[in-house]
């Protein structure tokens, strides 16, 4: 068998990151649903029960609605990573001027941005897609004048936490979104992105 030494279509050298467009919403919704469900695979039973009640179609429709709204909102930026065939492998959504609401009220709120979503199809984890999206997201925030970036990550989403640590984010605080079942502890992570 002959080798062409050509990178595969989802090799990091063939992945491109660009602004999302309306035509990407359907693929982004499918990717978002797969990644969303994967992060809760080892969640406590009460949270699993809640997630299992919701259909994949409902989750996809929720993503489609949120992404459509975001694409029409100038305070947000949505980017996609595509392979050489144009398939959406993942996406990120940012709020360009959004102070961290989980820090003490007296913290400096100027020049903050938030990473609202970062979803990559689990089949493409470990292929630098998430890292490429993070780098592009940080660059967008810098160009908008942000000096600090923050995000919230589910405490059991180890692949995401490893990525965020690798990208320089540090733990600032944590919060419990559902005190009844104490099932969704999330971590608030912060990073300086000053030039």
pLDDT surpassing 50 at residue 73? yes
pLDDT at 109: 66
DSSP type of residue 116: E
In this prediction, residue 178 has a pLDDT band, given cuts at 50, 70 and 90, of low
Q: What percent of the chain has pLDDT over 90?
A: 47
How many whole angstroms separate alpha carbon 123 and alpha carbon 127? 9
Least confident window among 89-103, 110-124, 164-178: 164-178
- Name the least confident of 7-16, 31-40, 128-137: 7-16
Q: Identify the pLDDT of residue 58.
A: 84
| Predicted model pTM | 0.83
* Rounded Cα distance, 195 and 193, in Å: 6
At residue 6 the predicted structure's pLDDT band, cuts being 50, 70 and 90, is: very low
**pLDDT tier at 49 (50, 70, 90 boundaries)?**
low
pLDDT score at 179: 52
Domains and CATH numbers, the chain: 12-192 (3.40.630.30)
Q: What is the pLDDT of residue 29?
A: 94
φ, ψ for residue 79, nearest 5 deg: -125, 155
């Amino acid at each position: 068998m002959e080798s062409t030494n050509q990178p595969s279509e989802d090799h990091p050298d063939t992945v491109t990151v660009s602004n999302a467009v309306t035509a990407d919403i359907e693929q982004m919704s499918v990717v978002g649903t797969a990644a969303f469900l994967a992060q809760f695979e080892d969640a406590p039973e009460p949270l699993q029960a809640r997630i299992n009640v919701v259909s994949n179609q409902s989750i996809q429709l929720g993503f489609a609605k949120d992404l459509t709204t975001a694409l029409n909102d100038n305070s947000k930026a949505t980017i996609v990573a595509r392979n050489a065939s144009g398939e959406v492998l993942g996406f990120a959504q940012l709020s360009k001027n959004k102070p961290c609401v989980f820090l003490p009220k007296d913290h400096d709120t100027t020049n903050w941005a938030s990473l609202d979503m970062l979803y990559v199809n689990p089949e493409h984890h470990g292929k630098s897609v998430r890292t490429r999206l993070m780098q592009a997201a940080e660059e967008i925030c810098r160009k908008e004048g942000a000096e600090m970036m923050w995000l919230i990550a589910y405490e059991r989403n180890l692949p995401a936490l490893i990525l965020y640590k690798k990208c320089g984010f540090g733990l600032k605080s944590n919060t419990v979104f559902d005190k009844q079942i104490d099932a969704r502890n999330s971590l608030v992570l912060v990073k300086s992105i000053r030039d």
